[in-house]
A and B are shown apart, each in its own frame.
Chain A
Amino acid sequence: MTQASSPPAVSIRNVAKSFGKGIYAFRVLDDVSLDIGRREFFTLLGPSGCGKTTLLRLIAGFETADSGAISIEGEDVTARPPFHRPVNTVFQSYALFPHLTVEQNVAFALEEQGMARDAIRKRVGEALEMMRMGSFAKRKPAELSGGQQQRVALARALAPRPRVLLLDEPLSALDLKLRKEMQIELKMLQEEAGITFLFVTHDQEEALTLSDRVAVMQSGRILQMGPPREIYETPTHRFVADFIGDINLLDGEALPGGGVRLEGGTVLSAPHNASGKVTVAIRPERARLAPAGEGALEATVVHSAYLGTAMLHKLDLPGGGTFLLRQSDPTEAAPEAGSRVGLALPAEALRVLDR
């Protein structure tokens, strides 16, 4: 069987899930479908309550879908309990068994699978070594720091060599520095282990850094799915554009045949095939400063911040609203606060989105 024709690592078809009953029912997932490729680092990204964790729990088997089907490497697991699914989970709280040592935690799944004792010892050793936790084998979880517990949780979930590793906001309990280190480590680990990772996070930066593909979720639906660059540069929804990174959103009306009339009356030339009310989106680093009177828009400089690698200007638009502009060369002459400047908005940098 060739790679191209083999079934995806995870396939989700029209899955819906509600919590509560009757008039209290709340739809957490609304007709979600997606395929995750083998060895892919796939991230579910969205604000809290968007359904990303519920989707992960459905794949793990902790929840059952109201409708739809879930299969793992071509096998339908929709009706299987979690202990009969070839996936393992790294929990947000790690959920290391407090009464067992590090080594017993890592051996747990292998023992349940009925592996021979020698093989277990070898596999546990390897898993702990891979996470550089070999010298902590006899400790109890309570004697470890947060970062160490995180490594043990990873070792425990990877030891049975699952088809898919599910990670439920695993880095959210760590401080910023440790978090950055673990991000790099996770990415390397995924490449090394050659296992499909399904990662859940609300941190857009984390999602962009780590993932091969990202699915942005809101209110139980997937709004956009694609590689980080595509999500960042060509968002298809106002929500996606706003949620990922900094962006300027200018409301206006689509003109037939291209172009958008902004609320201030200015007409921007931006290609589109929309109609009615739209939002023009442009990233701060794609806009350019121009001499006053030139460019598509006029603005007043409110504040400039020196970021080392760039200058970030906060501008006031005459029709109200602010505009962020990132000047990528900080050694360039910067306009003074209070001065009037023009904004050059390249047509290819503008995204026209439905409102």
Chain B
Amino acid sequence: MNPQRFPFTRETSLFVLAYLYVPVVVLIAYSFNANRTATVWTHASLDWYGRILVNPSIQSAAWNSLVIAVSAATAATVLALLAALATRRAFLGCGASEAILNMPLILPEIAVAVATLLLFVSLGVKLGLGAMVAAHTAFCIPFAYLPIRARLDGISGTYEEAAHDLYANRFRTFRRVTMPLLWPGVMAGFTLAFVTSLDDFLTSFFLAGPGLTTLPVYIFSAIRAGITPEINAISAVMLVVSVLLVSLSFFLGRLRR
């Protein structure tokens, strides 16, 4: 063992890992439980996964979640890309612009959700899919912005100078050099925004309107009727999808070229 290490490093690490992941492991384990009562183990089964596949309300909630996440992540990524390009060179108020862009990371979501609801109601905006996409886009922007910005900072300005030198005007340079080099960052930003939207509960709950649910909202309402293994199964699916997408996002962000 490395003599420079602090004592109990291994023990502390194991404790923290357990602290973080035991609930998740329990959730996933019980999603394979055959017993109707979620907390009593009988034997392993895939029944609940089969049931969520054929449950129409889960299907529609999943579809809504997907539509909102794709739309919001796309809009947020486009806006974040423009913002990253605009804040590339320092200007007066550049820092302030970045702070404002990243504000949704810090603001309490409940306050923003209530504020958005009040605004939409007072403007007479119909609650539902459109309103949810608009609100999701807003809080997804920083999640798309950060990876794009990090990627952009890593691209030397010399490549663009070289493209200009080789007779490509500003538009051609963007299309042939900047964008291809930026692409992994854009994909990483999109993926992160997508997961953020997919997992959102508060904003969706406030703006859903009558008869519209997303997966997190469905889980919340179902759980009030009691924890069922079905909930475990949906949660496990969402968890795996999110982990895969976030891993993909990190991988894309670290992609060299």
Interface residues of A (CB under 8 A from B): 60-62, 81-83, 87-89, 91, 93, 95-99, 108-109, 112-113, 140, 142, 156-157, 160
Cross-chain contact B165 with A112 (CB below 8 angstroms): no
Does B27 make an interface contact (CB < 8 A)? no
A72 CB to closest chain B CB (Å) equals 14
Known A98-B181, A98-B257, A99-B257; judge A108-B166 contact (CB<8 A).
yes
Given known contacts A82-B161, A87-B165, A99-B180, what 19 new A-B pairs fall within 8 Å (CB)?
A60-B165, A61-B164, A62-B165, A82-B165, A83-B164, A83-B168, A91-B158, A95-B158, A95-B159, A97-B163, A97-B177, A98-B181, A98-B256, A108-B163, A109-B166, A109-B167, A112-B167, A142-B256, A160-B166
Cross-chain contact B167 with A160 (CB below 8 angstroms): yes
Cross-chain contact B168 with A108 (CB below 8 angstroms): yes
Cross-chain contact B169 with A81 (CB below 8 angstroms): yes
1/0 per residue, CB under 8 A from A, across B158-202: the answer is: 110111111111001000110011000000000000000000000
Q: Which residues of A contact B257 (CB under 8 A)?
A: 98-99, 140, 142
Known A95-B158, A97-B159, A142-B257; judge A88-B181 contact (CB<8 A).
no
A50 CB to closest chain B CB (Å) equals 21
Closest 7 CB pairs of A and B: A109-B166, A95-B162, A112-B167, A82-B164, A98-B257, A95-B158, A99-B180
Does B2 make an interface contact (CB < 8 A)? no
Known A99-B257, A112-B168, A113-B167; judge A89-B181 contact (CB<8 A).
no
Known A99-B180, A99-B257; judge A93-B165 contact (CB<8 A).
no
Does B156 make an interface contact (CB < 8 A)? yes
Q: Which residues of B contact A87 (CB under 8 A)?
A: 165
Cross-chain contact B166 with A88 (CB below 8 angstroms): yes
B162 closest partner in A (C-beta): A95
Contact-size category for B = 10 to 19
28 contacts between A and B (CB under 8 A): A60-B161, A60-B165, A62-B165, A81-B164, A83-B165, A83-B166, A83-B167, A83-B168, A83-B169, A89-B161, A89-B165, A91-B158, A91-B161, A91-B162, A93-B156, A95-B162, A96-B162, A97-B163, A99-B180, A99-B257, A108-B163, A108-B168, A108-B176, A140-B257, A142-B256, A156-B166, A157-B165, A160-B167
B176 closest partner in A (C-beta): A108
Tell me which of A60, A82, A95 contacts B156 (CB under 8 A): A95
Q: Which residues of A contact B177 (CB under 8 A)?
A: 97
Q: Which residues of B contact A98 (CB under 8 A)?
A: 181, 256-257
1/0 per residue, CB under 8 A from A, across B232-245: the answer is: 00000000000000
Q: Which residues of A contact B159 (CB under 8 A)?
A: 95, 97
B172 closest partner in A (C-beta): A112
B167 closest partner in A (C-beta): A112
In the bound complex, CA of A96 to CA of B163 (Å): 10
B160 CB to closest chain A CB (Å) equals 9
In the bound complex, CA of A62 to CA of B165 (Å): 8
Q: Which residues of B contact A97 (CB under 8 A)?
A: 159, 162-163, 177
A196 CB to closest chain B CB (Å) equals 16
Q: Which residues of B contact A109 (CB under 8 A)?
A: 166-167
Cross-chain contact B162 with A89 (CB below 8 angstroms): yes
Cross-chain contact A99 with B181 (CB below 8 angstroms): yes
In the bound complex, CA of A259 to CA of B218 (Å): 101
Known A97-B177, A99-B180, A99-B181; judge A62-B169 contact (CB<8 A).
no
In the bound complex, CA of A62 to CA of B177 (Å): 17
In the bound complex, CA of A27 to CA of B176 (Å): 35
Interface centre among A60, A99, A142, by most B CB within 10 Å? Answer: A99
A84 closest partner in B (C-beta): B167
